[in-house]
Amino acid sequence: MQTLPDLLPALPEIVLACAGMALLMIGVFRGEGSLRLVSWLAVAALVVVGVLLVQGPAERAVTFSGLFVSDAFGIFAKLLIVTASALSIILSMNYLEREQLARFEYPVLLVFATLGMLAMVSANNLISLYIGLELQSLSLYVVAAFRRDVAKSSEAGLKYFVLGALSSGLLLYGASLVYGFTGTTSFDRLAVMFAGGATPPLGVIVGMVFVAAGLAFKISAVPFHMWTPDVYEGAPTSVTAFFAVAPKVAAMSLFIRVLTEPFGHLLPQWQQVIWFCSLASMIIGALAAIQQTNIKRLMAYSSIGHIGYALVGLAAGSQEGVRGVLIYLAIYLAMNVGTFAIILSMRQQGRMVERISDLAGLSKSHPLMAFAMAMFMFSMAGVPPLAGFFGKFYVFMSAIQAGLYGLAILGVLTSVASCYYYLRIIKVMYFDDLVEPLERPGRAAALVMTGTALFIFPVFYLFAEPLLSGAGAAAAALFHG
């Protein structure tokens, strides 16, 4: 007789799936004008999911016939994803209303995208990995083209869809090769199969590279980054804010799980691929952003650079490296959400502006907003004593411990080069003449700006221990330490 699987490890996902369907029904029956209600209910659902994650057991539990795993690593990554999604929905409300995009489908799509991300992070099989990835991607394709009457937004959605379908094809082809040469798609069985230290078949290595290529697209690592600047610029700004944080954290967490659990014993085979992607992302992110005049395109190249720094920790292939990546992602989330809260507040005479030059004289018209932006820029550049410095410190230290001296040195050099465009924004705000002042930011944006700026400094110092120990426990869970 078929018994029911243990549902407790997947309780947060089940709750979020039910909430998403309920929100869809509420939106349909309430009709026009239900954006704020559905958005706040979506935020409440994400908060409930966050509480369930915190209260849930941290021990490793596998359910659904080995397709789904819950462990300390998954809980840490999911908390970051849920936080990013909730903050993105809060920031989006005013923007959507002002831009005549106030449709209840938006928060519902973000909830389903978040559900896909949570499923991705807990994938324990190449099949469940793909299902979670596609649930996230299908929702994101729609929100990228949410402003249907603007050609640039439709173009962004189409580019993302076409290249996303290509990356999914690469990933599926890689998964089929792995299955063809090993006879299994289970992460646990693959890990046991490669644990002996014997050289795996060439087909497995090729398949692993294809899977890595598909996931590299999702985190926009070079050379799979082509879609990022165009989609960031063309998508509605609230969508760009979401793209910059939650999907990046989810895909990076999935990347870590795939390479350290089933393929952890094949480190020599995949380390050089990650090494190249990391270095190329850091260089392109540092150099291509210098000539940008649109702040959303600049943030796109900035995110490519940051993914490069995070990949330094993954290239180390060690528990310390994974811990460094998780700390980096938590700090990256705060820096990006705060920056996009300011970008979403860039309005002049009732219309959105996106040029870096539109920030001219911000220190005179909105001194606190300019100060917060300066903090985020200094933190992204890795200037101590802000939190961004420690994010880079932990990933570079893990690379040095793993003997990747060249990658760490080149990472520091590209970090110095990237200071140019971060400091240019500060120069525009503080030293250029005020041409036309920006409007006052909304209350939600102001609160998010303040909260994330305080996290960068000094809250990070006061509460660093829970973050560092949580990241350490999460990394240990992957290495079954």
Is the confidence at residue 198, as pLDDT, over 80? Answer: no
398, 316 Cβ separation under 8 angstroms: yes
354, 295 Cβ separation under 8 angstroms: yes
The three-state secondary structure class of 351 is strand
For residue 119, the one-letter residue type is A
Rounded (5°) CA angle 70-76-79: 100
> So what's the pLDDT on residue 459?
83
The residue written with tokens 């990006």 in the block is 336
Is the confidence at residue 1, as pLDDT, over 60? Answer: no
Burial of residue 200, with CB atoms counted within 10 A of its CB: 0-12 exposed, 13-18 middle, 19 or more buried: buried
Give dist(CA 91, CA 108) in Å, integer.
15
What's the residue count for the chain?
Answer: 481
Confidence of residue 172 (pLDDT cuts 50, 70, 90): very high
Give dist(CA 367, CA 348) in Å, integer.
17
Q: Which tokens belong to 28?
A: 């349909």
Which of 66-80, 102-116, 277-291, 341-355 is predicted least confidently? Answer: 341-355
Confidence of residue 175 (pLDDT cuts 50, 70, 90): very high
Handedness of CA 104, 109, 112, 113 (dihedral sign): negative
Query: Could you report the per-residue pLDDT of 302-340, keeping only the tens digit for each?
Result: 999 999 999 999 998 888 899 999 999 999 999 999 999
> So what's the pLDDT on residue 4?
73
Give dist(CA 182, CA 263) in Å, integer.
12
286, 417 Cβ separation under 8 angstroms: yes
> So what's the pLDDT on residue 18?
94
> So what's the pLDDT on residue 20?
93
Query: Mean of the pLDDT values across residues 90-101?
Result: 86
Is the confidence at residue 385, as pLDDT, over 70? Answer: yes
Query: Mean of the pLDDT values across residues 151-167?
Result: 87
Give dist(CA 265, CA 190) in Å, integer.
10
Is the confidence at residue 481, as pLDDT, over 70? Answer: no
Query: Could you report the per-residue pLDDT of 29-81, keeping only the tens digit for each?
Result: 987 778 899 999 999 999 999 999 988 777 888 888 888 888 889 999 999 99
Q: Which tokens belong to 362?
A: 């911000």
Q: Exposure pattern of 87-110 as b/e (b: 16+ CB <10 Å)? A: bbbbbbbbbbebbebbbbbbbbbb
63, 10 Cβ separation under 8 angstroms: yes
> So what's the pLDDT on residue 256?
92
Of 250 and 146, the structure prediction assigns the larger pLDDT to: 250
The residue written with tokens 């890595």 in the block is 212
240, 160 Cβ separation under 8 angstroms: no
Among residues 220, 324, 327, which one has the least CA distance to residue 278?
Answer: 220
Query: Mean of the pLDDT values across residues 416-431?
Result: 89
Name the helix (H) or strand (E) containing 320: helix 319-343
Query: Could you report the per-residue pLDDT of 330-380, keeping only the tens digit for each?
Result: 999 999 999 999 988 888 877 878 888 888 888 888 889 899 999 999 999
Handedness of CA 326, 331, 335, 338 (dihedral sign): positive
> So what's the pLDDT on residue 328?
92
Q: How far is CA 105 from CA 39, 137, 141, 305, 372, in A?
A: 10, 16, 13, 32, 32
Q: Which tokens belong to 239?
A: 């969508």
The three-state secondary structure class of 124 is coil
Q: Which tokens belong to 114?
A: 């978040």
Give dist(CA 88, CA 244) in Å, integer.
10
Confidence of residue 283 (pLDDT cuts 50, 70, 90): very high
Of 349 and 163, the structure prediction assigns the larger pLDDT to: 163
- The fraction of the chain above a pLDDT of 70, given in percent, is 99
Q: How far is CA 43 from CA 50, 90, 101, 343, in A?
A: 10, 7, 19, 21
Q: Which tokens belong to 254?
A: 């999935």
237, 143 Cβ separation under 8 angstroms: no
Confidence of residue 2 (pLDDT cuts 50, 70, 90): low
Give dist(CA 415, CA 374) in Å, integer.
17
Which of 4-8, 135-139, 326-330 is predicted least confidently? Answer: 4-8
DSSP secondary structure string for all residues of 355-373: BGGGGTTHHHH-HHHHHHH
Phi/psi region, residue 307 (left: phi>0; alpha: psi -120 to 50; beta: rest), is: alpha
User: Crossing angle, helix 367-381 and helix 405-431, to 10 degrees?
Assistant: 160
Give residue limits of the domains in the chain. 8-478
The three-state secondary structure class of 442 is coil
The 8-class DSSP code of residue 215 comes to: H
| Bridge partners (DSSP) listed for residue 61 | 70
Is the confidence at residue 171, as pLDDT, over 80? Answer: yes
Among residues 103, 57, 111, 104, which one has the least CA distance to residue 84?
Answer: 111
The residue written with tokens 């309005």 in the block is 347
> So what's the pLDDT on residue 150?
81
Rounded (5°) CA angle 7-214-309: 95
254, 314 Cβ separation under 8 angstroms: no
The three-state secondary structure class of 313 is helix
Is the confidence at residue 199, as pLDDT, over 80? Answer: no
Query: Mean of the pLDDT values across residues 451-477?
Result: 86
Q: Provide the mean pLDDT of the chain.
A: 88
